[in-house]
Amino acid sequence: MTNNVRVRFAPSPTGHLHIGGARTALFNYLFARHHRGTFILRIEDTDQERSTKEFLESILKGMEWLGMEWDEGPFHQFERLAVYREHVEKLLKAGKAYRCYCTPEELEVKRKALLAAGGKPKYDGKCRTGDRGLRTTERKPSCIRFKTPQEGLVEFNDICRGRIVTDRKELDDMIILRTDGTPTYNLTVVVDDVTMKITHVIRGDDHLNNTPRQIQLYEALGFAVPQFAHLPMIHGSDKKKLSKRHGAVSVVEYQEQGFLPEAMLNYLARLGWSSGDQEIFTKKELIEKFDLNAVGKSPSIFDIGKCTWVNSQHLAKLSERELVEKTKPYLKGLGLKVEDAEYAAKALHSERERGKTLKELAEISAFYFRDEVVWDEKAKAKWLDEKGKKHLKPLLEKFQALSRWNEEEIKQSFAAAQQELGIQKMLDLAQPLRTALTGTTVSPGIFEVLVILGKERVLKRLGKALV
């Protein structure tokens, strides 16, 4: 199973690339790379009503951001209509498909009746018999149905689920070509997977029930059946299907929130899959260790909290240079510009373990880059009161007098001021200073901040705080 592995991710452009889709894409991607196979991107856009260019672009953008490069495609089903018709024709000639003249209204009535009677709303096969099968000259509108074999069982061995058995009687004659001449999903997916020589169909388990139908199509068309792997779904925090509120948003939104693509990949991979006790994986490790057999069966819930933690772990591995480059856009979003890369590196480094996302990091580091301190009113009221200002004044004078601006000198000045002022706890001098310099009560170590900001900024900010 090396080298000739061919898998595909086949989204339909009727929505964004969301967490669930991205995870499916990822497992296909990892499987392909692990086996040095081929990863194909196919766009399932036969439903022209609901497919849009915007969604297509969104999907492509998401794939790109996550770094799941594909080897072939994107292929568009809409451009392959002739291929599907050819196969439908083949089935028709072989007597394995037939024209159906039932109207949607008629079918709807029957479906409701069956459902009301407590049964399964299967097609009753009204047009199945008779000699009208090949009479294409018939003027009445018609679609094409697959003549589903009704005897025996369909079985297959799912890589994730094991043996799945279905009674053929449960399956009805599905429509494979619509009245308007466009093919439906179950037909296109089979024809495409065959013509694209897909060896492993890895998809969400919402397709588990479709698989027996598709297998019958493979059989009727005389094609070899690929291997299947049905992945458990990802649910929202209410254990229900993913919806807009919890995770069905575009993955690109996570980029905006300051998540690293490699962290996203890492977290997504751990949803339904694991490798011992390991939590943090590089992309390379993911490719090395990924194994479809280790994929679980039960659905999982997307937990933004853990995803954020994984992100913080990857953030910690970034070099200072990468950190600056990756945080820049978020600083820009705050209207801040990085002018001095070295200064930015020190500034961001000092805050890096406090920010779990790039966006957060930019926000808490913003004070380094602003010309004017933005005050947190509560902090100002508490620490920059008359007492605070009184304490800060001698400190400012000591700082002014320093000829060398390094941690050692600064500490000495600070300690001297503290002693002269008779302040017992360092806190009582550190917090007013911190507030004066950063505008808040939370920041990296005060001496670190002092050194990074530099004498000029410190004196300026202290001066303003004392007004």
Partner RNA sequence: GCUCCCUUCGUCUAGUGGCCUAGGACAUCGCCCUCUCACGGCGAAGACACGGAUUCGACUUCCGUAGGGAGCACCA
Instruction: Cite the active site residues.
Output: 244
Nearest to 251 by CA among 242, 240, 241, 261: 261
Shortest Å distance, C-beta 4 to RNA: 25
- Which residues neighbour 281 within 8 Å (Cβ) at sequence distance 6 or greater? 266, 269, 270, 275, 289
Segment 316-345, which members bind RNA (CB under 7 A)? none
Q: Which lies closer to RNA via its Cβ, residue 185 or residue 254?
A: 185
Q: Which lies closer to RNA via its Cβ, residue 119 or residue 335?
A: 119
Q: Which lies closer to RNA via its Cβ, residue 3 or residue 124?
A: 124
Q: Which lies closer to RNA via its Cβ, residue 277 or residue 339?
A: 277
Segment 67-126, which members bind RNA (CB under 7 A)? 100, 102-104, 107, 111, 115, 118-123
Q: Which lies closer to RNA via its Cβ, residue 152 or residue 335?
A: 152
- Cα angle for residues 375, 376, 379 (degrees, 5° grid): 110
Phi, psi of 283 (to 5 degrees): -60, -40
Please choose, out of 87-95, 216-224, 299-307, 388-396, the segment that lies near RNA by the rule CB under 7 A: 299-307
Segment 418-457, which members bind RNA (CB under 7 A)? 425-427, 430-431, 434, 441-448
How far apart CA 210 and CA 77 sit, in angstroms, is 19
Residue 466 interacts with RNA (CB under 7 A): yes or no: no
Shortest Å distance, C-beta 102 to RNA: 6
Shortest Å distance, C-beta 343 to RNA: 20
Please choose, out of 32-40, 88-96, 162-170, 216-224, the segment that lies near RNA by the rule CB under 7 A: 162-170
Segment 189-228, which members bind RNA (CB under 7 A)? 205-210
What is the total count of residues that contact RNA (CB under 7 A)?
86
Shortest Å distance, C-beta 26 to RNA: 13
Residue 354 interacts with RNA (CB under 7 A): yes or no: yes
How far apart CA 68 and CA 287 sit, in angstroms, is 12
Nearest to 67 by CA among 265, 224, 226: 265
Expressed in angstroms, the distance from the first to the final Cα of the chain is: 74
Shortest Å distance, C-beta 183 to RNA: 8
Q: Which lies closer to RNA via its Cβ, residue 310 or residue 339?
A: 310
Please choose, out of 254-262, 293-301, 366-374, 398-406, the segment that lies near RNA by the rule CB under 7 A: 293-301
Segment 232-251, which members bind RNA (CB under 7 A)? 232-233, 235, 239-241
How far apart CA 210 and CA 463 sit, in angstroms, is 72
Q: How many CB atoms lie within 10 A of CB 332?
A: 12
How far apart CA 44 and CA 80 sit, in angstroms, is 11
Residue 15 interacts with RNA (CB under 7 A): yes or no: no
3-state DSSP call for residue 18?
coil
Phi, psi of 7 (to 5 degrees): -130, 165
Please choose, out of 25-33, 244-252, 268-276, 324-332, the segment that lies near RNA by the rule CB under 7 A: 268-276
Q: How far is CA 137 from CA 99, 179, 264, in A?
A: 11, 14, 55
Residue 387 interacts with RNA (CB under 7 A): yes or no: no
Q: How far is CA 112 from CA 79, 107, 120, 145, in A?
A: 36, 9, 10, 20
Residue 162 exposed, middle or buried by CB count within 10 Å (0-12, 13-18, 19+) = exposed
C-beta of residue 264 within 8 angstroms of C-beta of residue 77 = no
How far apart CA 187 and CA 13 sit, in angstroms, is 18
Shortest Å distance, C-beta 121 to RNA: 4
Tell me the per-residue interface mask from 271 to 290 with RNA, x by CB under 7 A, - otherwise. Answer: xxxx-xx-x-----------
Please choose, out of 56-64, 84-92, 160-168, 329-337, the segment that lies near RNA by the rule CB under 7 A: 160-168
3-state DSSP call for residue 212?
helix
Q: Which lies closer to RNA via its Cβ, residue 241 or residue 390?
A: 241
C-beta of residue 66 within 8 angstroms of C-beta of residue 204 = no
C-beta of residue 5 within 8 angstroms of C-beta of residue 35 = yes
Residue 164 interacts with RNA (CB under 7 A): yes or no: yes
Residue 184 interacts with RNA (CB under 7 A): yes or no: yes
| Sole residue written with tokens 């006790």 | 277
| Sole residue written with tokens 């998809």 | 203
Please choose, out of 26-34, 231-239, 322-330, 335-343, the segment that lies near RNA by the rule CB under 7 A: 231-239
Candidates 14, 52, 195, 257: give the one binding RNA (CB under 7 A).
14
Nearest to 396 by CA among 424, 436, 428: 436
Tell me the per-residue interface mask from 34 to 63 with RNA, x by CB under 7 A, - otherwise. Answer: ----------x-xx--x-------------
